[in-house]
Amino acid sequence: GGAMRLSEAIEALLLATQANGRSSRTVEAYREKLSYLLEALGDVPVETITVADLRRYVAGQLARTTDYQPDNPPSGSLSPFTVAGRVRALKRLFNFLVDEELLDANPARRIKTPHPRRVIPKGITHADLGRLLDSTKAGGLLDLRDRAIMLLLADTGCRLSGLCGLRLSDVELEARRALVTEKGEKTRPVYFLDLTANALGAWLKVRPNADTDALFLSLTRWGTPQGPLTGATVSRMLSRRAERVGITGKVNAHSFRHAFARDFLMSGGDLAALSDLLGHSDVLVTKEFYGILTGEELRQKHAQHSPIKWLVEGGNDGDHDGL
């Protein structure tokens, strides 16, 4: 009985999403994205929500994207991709309510989903990655730590927060995998190759004793532990090493993630697997960020996967009966 409130409407959508067999990650992503709508409008009866209410909410969210910068977001600012995701979730909610006949008219029908300008993310090049790793050749304590950090970033595509949050117990060297926790509470497995496993093993052998179980430690120049590694320390370390080996472009933790995604797609990996490896709640997010290859990359990808490739490679000059 009684009017359905916004919180109840959201719960109904989450239940339906779960019952439709979507992953718990998708369900949680909807919960998170719709919590901002609930916060903005209050727990009002859904039939009292007007298109003007929703427009005010969306306009307020978009206003927070104006001074957003991906590498150094001012506090309170939002990525345009984050806002687009919240708007998509809102439209999903109201479409669902109308489909289920819990609502007669759809106030979200005329709300447009914003499409952020796509900037092709700059991934670190293979040559630059090689140079950065070369800078650790001396093999001192910091070199061993930094080599493991850089290989882990490049090999797993994990976020900086995930890397810094790794505990000793999160890493399974034998199984070549680690459990990273990012964006609040989302934990997922990431996988790595022998080279990275060896670098991690080498770091673990020399890791100083510290009163923390963090995998990576912030160290003074003399190797005294200063607690768990921080994102700022990694950023400083990367720019210092980049400068030392003469890399002019910007090098930050995210450029390793971008390179991981680019190489994964360029070598024939699929978007759905990439989405899981990167820890995105939705393949759409992955597509927005990384499904964008430059023209030249698309040309190469086409050359790898075109259905007539076998004709050319088979040395057949095209006079095939089946065609």
Longest CA pairwise span in the chain (Å): 73
Backbone angles phi, psi at 235, to 5 degrees: -60, -45
Record the tokens describing residue 234, joined without a space. 């990694």
User: Which residues are the active-site residues?
Assistant: 159, 183, 254, 257, 280, 290
Query: What distances in angstroms separate CA 100 from CA 16, 93, 105, one per listed residue?
Result: 10, 11, 12
How crowded is residue 118: how many other Cβ atoms within 10 Å of its Cβ? 11
Backbone angles phi, psi at 137, to 5 degrees: -55, -35
**179 in helix, strand or coil?**
strand
User: Measured between alpha carbons, how far is 287 from 271 in angstroms, rounded to an integer?
Assistant: 7
Query: What distances in angstroms separate CA 28 from CA 10, 51, 78, 89, 95, one per listed residue?
Result: 11, 26, 19, 12, 19
User: Minimal CA–CA distance to 174: which of 147, 148, 155, 192?
Assistant: 192
User: Measured between alpha carbons, how far is 302 from 275 in angstroms, rounded to an integer?
Assistant: 21
User: Measured between alpha carbons, how far is 33 from 88 in angstroms, rounded to an integer?
Assistant: 9
Q: How many residues does the chain have?
A: 323
